[in-house]
Amino acid sequence: MRMLSFLVTAVSAQVAFAQPPLDLPKASIVPGGVFITRLADEGNEPPEVTFDGKRVMVLRSDDRWLAVVGIPLSTKLGPASVLVKDGSATGVPVSFNVVDKQYPTQSLKVAPGKVDLSPEDEKRTADESARIRAALATYSPTAPSTLRLLQPVPGVRSSSYGSRRIFNNEPRNPHTAMDIASPTGTPVKAAADGKVIETGDFFLPGNTVIVDHGEGLVTMYCHLSKIDVKVGDELKRGEVLGKVGATGRVTGPHLHWAVALNQTFVDPALFLAMPARHGKPIPRRNKPT
């Protein structure tokens, strides 16, 4: 029966693969997290999987296909499902349960003009957001060779992904990236092999570079003092794409590093190896935005 071949089992990455054939992100079924599921389909062609109508990464692992799904920070808690295309009109749903994660609130002081925008700046940010969304919608067919990413700059990683943001006492969108404290001029490295698909001097993110790594994995680097690449450049993991800066809406120099899967920004920490500080907690230090 056709349905049976698409029966899937939701598994955590660690449990499913005693010896992982792929370097997967850490699974975390929370808003802003990553859901990894093994598909029962053993065919040679990757099944097409969507979440909220957006194409999901599907990777080969031994004799099976894996779907690696980004969960939007705005996802409601409770049941959710991806759809596996099987030739039917609707596809076969694969359900999972999104559980709660408490994210902190941050209060920040920035230049007033970066919070209460003039009509011209409103228009500019809307246009720039559309460009960024278009870049995130890139789905190139070649899968990344690894989903373990390189931290683009050394420095203290903040745990500010998901935090609610209060700018000058006014609530704004939550933070959907990792901020890494680093001095202006520090080289920023590509987190994985990829192709530059957008660059710009944007009002809120400042100087920005967006890199496509394949199958919907896209990384974004913001507030740069200098951009060293142009659209179309092919980058190797670790290749310098720009320098740390304080352009856009910031309180000081840092890298705002965002990681997207299926057009949604997820927690970059899930894609990094755990910090090598045995037994010592990483100090919490947040640098917006």
Distance between CA atoms of 235 and 194, rounded to whole angstroms? 5
Nearest Cα to Cα of residue 133 among 193, 176, 163: 176
In whole angstroms, the minimum distance from the beta carbon of 206 to Zn ion comes to 10
Residue 22 vs 177, nearer CB to Zn ion? 177
In whole angstroms, the minimum distance from the beta carbon of 175 to Zn ion comes to 6
First-to-final CA distance of the chain: 51
Distance between CA atoms of 35 and 96, rounded to whole angstroms? 8
Residue with tokens 């067919």, as numbered in its chain: 141
In whole angstroms, the minimum distance from the beta carbon of 281 to Zn ion comes to 21
Q: Is the dihedral of CA 240, 254, 219, 229 positive or negative?
A: negative
The secondary structure of 9-29 as a DSSP string is EE--HHHH-SS-SS-PPPPB-
Residue 213 vs 256, nearer CB to Zn ion? 256
In whole angstroms, the minimum distance from the beta carbon of 38 to Zn ion comes to 33
Residue 247 vs 289, nearer CB to Zn ion? 289
Q: Which amino acid is at 131?
A: R
Residue 67 vs 270, nearer CB to Zn ion? 270
Q: List residues binding Zn ion (CB under 5 A).
A: 177, 179, 256, 289
Residue 27 vs 177, nearer CB to Zn ion? 177
Answer yes or no: are the C-beta atoms of 70 and 264 closer than 8 Å.
yes
Q: What residue is closest to Zn ion based on CB?
A: 256
In whole angstroms, the minimum distance from the beta carbon of 160 to Zn ion comes to 7
Q: Which two tokens stand for residue 174?
A: 């939550």
